[in-house]
Structure 1
Amino acid sequence: MRPEDRQAADWREAAAYAPLLAADRSILAWEWLRRDPGYRAAADRALGQETQAAQDSRTDAGEWGLHAFEPAEIAAPAARPVWRSGFHPYVLEADALPTGDARNAFELARVAGMSTIVVESGQEHLLVSDGLRAVRLDLLSGSVRRGPVRLHYRLAGLASAERPLLTLRRLLALWRAGRFSAQLHPVEARAARFVLMLRAHDALAAGATQREIAAVLLSGEAGEARWRVRAPTVRSQVQRLVRSARFMAAGGYLALLGGEDPLAGLGGVPEAIPAVDKTNR
């Protein structure tokens, strides 16, 4: 059952964004995508159609990097976006073959509570996620929905094998322990900065001024008279923060999916404040 539609978080409330501090980059990227007016309109059109028509609309979802539209109202950790490998290189390709070897058998039922499958052109695209961490597989042949299978992984090259190989290691650890490995899914080092940019974006969408954004997210000095003169550092920080938030919203967030620095060459963003901050002044 899908959760109830969710309203946009109040950008002043740090607690509303706190789950994202433990989210991987594919989840952070979803938070940017679901805020895109173009995506929201496209998803509303597709998901408002009859079932078969909605299935046919999945080609359109590909324009946004997904195999199927996910309702934009659903925030992390409830959302389950299934990213395409062309956008998200941490996708492991495999073939699902019949097996009688129980020791090496993959059974979907074992991860049923965390699994989402999109079928497109006869191929299954599997997402295993707890809403904050994820593993993605593309089944190029066979099906994991028809009982135990033996997965034959497709890895090639040297540099090109590194990301899907990490996904394989994550899958094996999940299979052994029944939970995501903290070692293989470390907390994103820049999560607090990315969340700060997301809050700035939401503030701009809500009509907040740079002074208001600075006062809530950066320093109480911005609430004082002549703050631009008395706190020039805060002024430059909020200017960079706003510029970075606009850049991310314009598509810069896609670099998150590849593990790259989305702000390379943009001048960076100010150091993030702690997750428990001075939001309720």
Structure 2
Amino acid sequence: MLAAAMAAATPLVTVEDIVATRDISGVTISPDGRWAAYRVSEPSVAENRVALGWHIVGVNGGDHRRVADGGAARFSFAGTLIENAPIWDADSKGFHFLAMQDGAVGVWLRRTPRYRRLWAARDRLPIDAPIRVGLLAWIDPAISAPEARPIWSPDVDPKVLQTRAGRRAPGPGDNFDVLALADYVSISVDQANREHWLISDGRWLIRLMHHDGTLLGRSTLLVHEIEGVDSAAPKIAALQQFLALTARGEMPASLRPRESRAARWILELRTADALAAGASQKRIAEVLFGESVTARRWRIESASYRSRVQRLVKAAQQYLADPFSGPWFR
């Protein structure tokens, strides 16, 4: 009787409880040995997503706090959450990490002096002025990357799917209902009343440009317009993603983009920010590569690091001068 009573009083562990278990990964100690940075992943069954956050805690205890959003969760080909170790600055005053958020070209564009001048004068510019920089709508350069959802013009993004409303009677499963993907979508309407749809969760994105009518409030038979040979390839890849997403309600792991160059891109962005702050190449090397860079005669004794910084500076200057010269849309 006692055992039965204890069993009845013990709450049952459900599948949802197991799935929603929080996990800690990427624990990394700061160079001065005082702090530990780590990532907390918190799955949500109700929201069908994994929330990521970066935290720090004193190595000797106390002073624990959340310091940054971790962006959208990224998954391996096998469907497991990709771990991400932070990179501490050499002076232990901050750290950097990879986060799948808005596209790399948007990060560079919003750093350029030209974009900031246009943003400041936006109220005096024509309504279609964002097209000058490849966008359908302005994005505040001060907002964080997770909040930015740039909708690029088809003139700069070769993966944009051009669609029209079909006239024939749809077959089973042929109609598209944008409301089924409401959690993923943003929209901008141009002066010709064409709808520009962004469908993205931060790990992947699909762009639709709908030429007649509206996709709001009704399911629609879509006619996809794909032309050419070389120019058709990126659109066919985007169409494969779109078809898989609409069939499953989520993007299969095999179709999520995987970018092996992201770590270098972060170094280039950090270099651009350092140049804007007036840092010398030696100081950039010290912050990026820490004690590996010698304090004296660094041009000779740390020649390899000097060469790396020079390449990073060259890339940063190139992307600040022309954000679209990078490999972002390839």
Question: What is the TM-score normalised by the length of structure 2?
Answer: 0.66
Alignment CA distance shift 1:181-1:43 (3 Å): farther
Instruction: Give 1:90 deviation, angstroms.
Output: 0.9
Which residue number in structure 2 is paired with residue 112 of structure 1?
182
Asked if 1:30 is matched to 2:106, the reply is yes
Match of 2:116 among 31, 40, 63: 40
Aligned mates of 1:203, 1:173 — CA distance in 2: 42
Aligned mates of 1:158, 1:78 — CA distance in 2: 36
Which residue number in structure 2 is paired with residue 200 of structure 1?
271
Aligned mates of 2:201, 2:294 — CA distance in 1: 40
Give 1:118's aligned amino acid: S
Instruction: Give 1:95 deviation, angstroms.
Output: 0.7
Taking CA–CA contacts closer than 8 Å with sequence separation of 6 or more, which of the two structures ends up with the larger relative contact order? 1
Q: Is the 8 A contact 1:90 1:163 kept in 2?
A: yes
Which residue number in structure 2 is paired with residue 143 of structure 1?
214
Give the SS at the match of 2:147. Answer: coil
Give the SS at the match of 1:256. Answer: coil
Which residue number in structure 2 is paired with residue 93 of structure 1?
162
Alignment CA distance shift 1:192-1:112 (3 Å): same
Instruction: Give 1:252 deviation, angstroms.
Output: 4.6
Asked if 1:167 is matched to 2:243, the reply is no
Give 1:85's aligned amino acid: P
Aligned mates of 1:187, 1:258 — CA distance in 2: 14
Which residue number in structure 2 is paired with residue 229 of structure 1?
300
Alignment CA distance shift 1:192-1:156 (3 Å): same
Match of 1:176 among 240, 244, 247: 247
Give 1:187's aligned amino acid: R
Which residue number in structure 2 is paired with residue 267 of structure 1?
none
Give 1:37's aligned amino acid: P
Instruction: Give 1:97 deviation, angstroms.
Output: 4.0
Deviation per CA, 1:165-204: give whole Å up to 9, x if none.
1111111122223223332223112111111101110111
Aligned pair count reads 238
Q: Is the 8 A contact 1:114 1:130 kept in 2?
A: yes
Which residue number in structure 2 is paired with residue 244 of structure 1?
315
Aligned mates of 1:177, 1:76 — CA distance in 2: 28
Aligned mates of 1:182, 1:103 — CA distance in 2: 23
Segments of structure 1 that go 5 or more residues without pairing to the other structure are 1-5, 260-281
Give the SS at the match of 1:70. Answer: coil
Q: State, as a whole percentage, how many aligned pairs show the same letter.
A: 33
Give 1:36's aligned amino acid: T
Aligned mates of 1:205, 1:253 — CA distance in 2: 20
Asked if 1:127 is matched to 2:221, the reply is no
Q: Considering only aligned residues, what root-mean-square deviation do their CA atoms show, in Å?
A: 2.4
Following superposition, which runs of at least 4 residues in structure 1 exceed 6 angstroms of deviation?
Answer: none
| Higher helix residue share | 1
Instruction: Give 1:72 deviation, angstroms.
Output: 1.5
Aligned mates of 1:97, 1:30 — CA distance in 2: 33
Q: Is the 8 A contact 1:214 1:234 kept in 2?
A: yes
Q: Is the 8 A contact 1:61 1:69 kept in 2?
A: yes
Which residue number in structure 2 is paired with residue 63 of structure 1?
132
Match of 2:147 among 61, 78, 91: 78
Greater gyration radius = 2
Alignment CA distance shift 1:87-1:254 (3 Å): farther
Give 1:258's aligned amino acid: F
Q: Is the 8 A contact 2:195 2:210 kept in 1?
A: yes
Deviation per CA, 1:193-236: give whole Å up to 9, x if none.
11110111011112222112111213523252222221111111
Aligned mates of 1:115, 1:44 — CA distance in 2: 27
Which residue number in structure 2 is paired with residue 18 of structure 1?
98
Deviation per CA, 1:101-125: give whole Å up to 9, x if none.
5622211111112111111111001
| Higher strand residue share | 2
Give the SS at the match of 1:145. Answer: coil
Give 2:185's aligned amino acid: S
Alignment CA distance shift 1:43-1:169 (3 Å): same
